[in-house]
Amino acid sequence: MKKLIFLTLFVLLAAFQQAPGQELQLNDLEYFETQGVNVLVYSNLFTGGFNDEKTAGIELIHHGVRTAQGGAVRLSNTPEQWDLVPAIPIRTVKRASNSIESVLTYEDFDFASRVVVTAKDKGVEIAVYLDEPVPAELEGAAGFNLEFLPSKYWGKTYLADGRLNRFPRYVVGNTVTRPNSEKIKQFKGYVTSDDRGTGRFVDPLPLETGRTFILAPEDPERRVKITSHDAEIMLFDGRVLAQNGWFVVRSLLPAGKTGKVLSWTVEPHAIDGWIREPNIGFSQVGYLPSQPKVSVIELDKKDTLLATASLYKIDENGRAAEVFSGNIEPWGDYYKYHYVKFDFSSVNTPGIYYIQYGDQKTNNFIINDDVYDKITDATSDIWIPIHMNHMFVREGYRVWHGEPFKEGYRQAPPNTDHFDLHRQGPTTDTKYEGLERIPGLNIGGFFDAGDFDIETGSNIGVVQNFVQTWEYFRPQRDQTFVSQEQRYVDLHRPDGTPDILQFIEHGAKNLVAQAEIIGHMAQTLSNSVLYNYHHLGDAASITDGLPYNSALGSYETASDGLSSGVKDDMWAFTSRNPGLDLRAATMFAAVSRALKGYNDDLAERALDQSKRLLNEATELLASQPENSRGRRFGAADVGTNLQLYISTGEQQYADKFQELLWPALDRNLSYVILTALHGISHMDASYKEKLRPYVEQYNEYIDDLEKDNPYGVPIGLGNWAGSGAVVNFGTTICFAHKHFSDIIDASHAFKATNWLYGCHPYHNYSLVATLGAARPKEVFYGNNRADFSFIPGNVAPGILFRQPDHFENYDDWPFLWGQNEGTIGGNTSYLIFGSAFKNLIK
């Protein structure tokens, strides 16, 4: 056995040492590169918003996949999301020395370091310099970290000074606890790892310690060697503290020293002659026989371009036969890769097919007349009702969540910052004192996303989406039982009422309650304790369901069982925002129409609040400087007056709508055009003709997208991926074609479905967990993300862009919300798009 272990170790080490070396060079985009390896040095910075989003620092893109990130001086072994992150005010590229130098600062501690990354042999040297010693309070806490993506390493081996180990699939390891007083100061005082009031914190212990680590020696695509001659290197499993933690390689900065205090050599292995496999983009849902069918193929720039691709049809006996071969049409370079197109629109026979490009084959897809019939069913039947707040939600044998937040909401105290980027101002802007219970808010509303708060702005848009879906398309689908009296929802159980009406009612109940009880719209109804905010599991278990009673001791329950000493009640952040009130007025006007004849009382109350909020918000906005109103002001005010005109028939609202619309279109066409299109059915013929030049201008925008990228859709390049923009683009095309078919061609709408269902960069999985998709994404950022699962019907934000040229979407790691988190706003926008698209293709 000893001989076998020695032989295995010898072979692994020899394989690493004999690997061909390829030196890294600084490229024009200011990162280190060789074929198969990119080392980014603070191309993407820590945000300071949600802090550690696992998308910043020194990053490694290893054979096409971003496998490491977060390289920086950090103040804990396994940093969590809200832990302090360094500001990086200075970044200098030094081409003469083939290096990048950056200054990292922690203002809270008056602590600065300098990190210099220099190309060296087969990798880079990372050196940390200090002009002043580590502050005394950070000794033993400040260190250099580099984090590796667990899903790319679990099950693989690693060597620590020659000792053989294996990365665990499930988190294991030893921890210690220590008193609160020893905890390094957290961002704005938020506590992340406190064991619910025990006053003690959990720290993971290292899995291994040594001077030389070799990660995944058996896997050429993931092999990395890290050495240090002046510091011990430790390996931690960050998942001990949080499910979204990464494997952390870390060395402490020495106390009392200045100058070059730490250095590592990091050598990512590069496979000699490696070429990324082609990514053949196509619709996983399939195609109509008559629609355009164009596959976009993403290629390594060093790949050899083939002349043709083929389409194969699978018969009832499973035999595949080539039925079409067509030329490859080059599009050009787009960021990191080269793109070509394969047009097989002429194939219109229903059946099962796959695409082959060289040796690369796709999974199968369908060409048939009914491929789009069910694209919204999972979203409306499952995802949306699961996110109904203040309800017990059941599906067959499974309980998705009990009734959450029975204790209701308390007023957020003045001058309170919130970890989800909200803030209570110097006053409450309500009749309630700080921490006073606000009665009547624990009704209706939808969970925002992978968390369990009610984001008022999102919920306003959600209800508006429901109303427009109802008014334009009248979906009669009834697959959900909803009882407001019982606060009970049962999936796949019809109750005789169209689900969409019940969704409108449920969202409106909470929003009308806010307007009536608070007097205006809250920013959010959210957690008061960070320990509860990042809760994963049943929403009903976030709080104890009992109002907090200050007369009771911690975790004590009153003798009558009606209150407790647990400070877990949700808070209402109520600083007034007239722009938000204006958006609510728009939505309330629309709700009053939709609910008339179904819930007349709620419809009447919604209309009253619409008129009141419009008047008050208009006065408040008029008193503010013009440049403080924000971009949303114009579109919201335009939409409010349109919806009030439709609801009341009063000419004053129609006049105001047109007065505001045309300047708003001139300011931001793509943002306002959909609202303008919604007005056509309610205005005279001259209105449509006046709108025509703007639609022609929008058509030019569509043409420009064809030149901008190979997919012909608006691609977002921010910290939140761009599915929402693509959905809005598709919805706009559907309505524009309806009214201006001579200008806007219906074929453009298929660009949106193609993108959503698999024709996009990085991989070809459907970004929508929809019925009919042959290969949807398998993991999403939802409230069940700890199980590496998804909720049917979810829509991912999609393909996330990392500066300066990398697109990605992990399908084996759900915890990056910017690419994997489905939101109630995004999913209901998809609902109206899917409805409009199905109507268009009829």
The residues that are catalytic are 812, 821
CB 531 within 8 A of CB 542: no
Grouping H, G, I as helix, E, B as strand and the rest as coil, residue 571 is strand
| CA 510 to chain centroid | 25
Where residue 802 falls (left for φ over 0; alpha for ψ -120 to 50; beta otherwise) is beta
In degrees, rounded to 5, the angle at the alpha carbon of residue 151 between the alpha carbons of residues 772 and 387 is 50
- Structure token pair of residue 38: 């990119």
Query: Can you spell out the DSSP letters for 117-152?
Result: EEEETTEEEEEEEESSPPPGGGTTT-EEEEEE-GGG
- Structure token pair of residue 435: 């921490």
Give the chain's end-to-end CA distance (angstroms, integer): 69
Nearest to 201 by CA among 191, 211, 213: 191
Nearest to 521 by CA among 416, 617, 412, 439: 617
Phi and psi, residue 185, nearest 5°: -50, 130
CB atoms within 10 A of CB 307: 8
E runs forming strands in 78-122: 87-94, 99-106, 111-120
- Structure token pair of residue 275: 């070429």
| CA 624 to chain centroid | 33
- Structure token pair of residue 171: 């988190």
Task: Give me the long-range contacts of 623-632 (CB less than 8 A, separation at least 24).
Answer: 624/578, 629/579, 630/579, 631/668, 631/671, 632/579, 632/583
Q: CA torsion 101→106→110→112, rounded to 10°?
A: -20
CB atoms within 10 A of CB 692: 13
| Location of structure tokens 């500001």 | 87
CB 445 within 8 A of CB 511: yes
Query: Can you spell out the DSSP letters for 212-263?
Result: EEEE-TT-TTT-EEEE-SSS-EEEEEGGGT-TT--EEEEEEPPTT--EEEEE
Cα separation, 73 vs 254, whole angstroms = 12
List, in order, residues 6 or more apart from 397 with CB less than 8 Å away.
Answer: none
Grouping H, G, I as helix, E, B as strand and the rest as coil, residue 26 is strand
Cα separation, 756 vs 830, whole angstroms = 10
The three state secondary structure string of 578-620 is HHHHHHHHHHHHHHHHHCCCCCHHHHHHHHHHHHHHHHHHHHH
- Structure token pair of residue 108: 């809270």
Cα separation, 341 vs 153, whole angstroms = 34
409-411/570-573 β-pairing? parallel
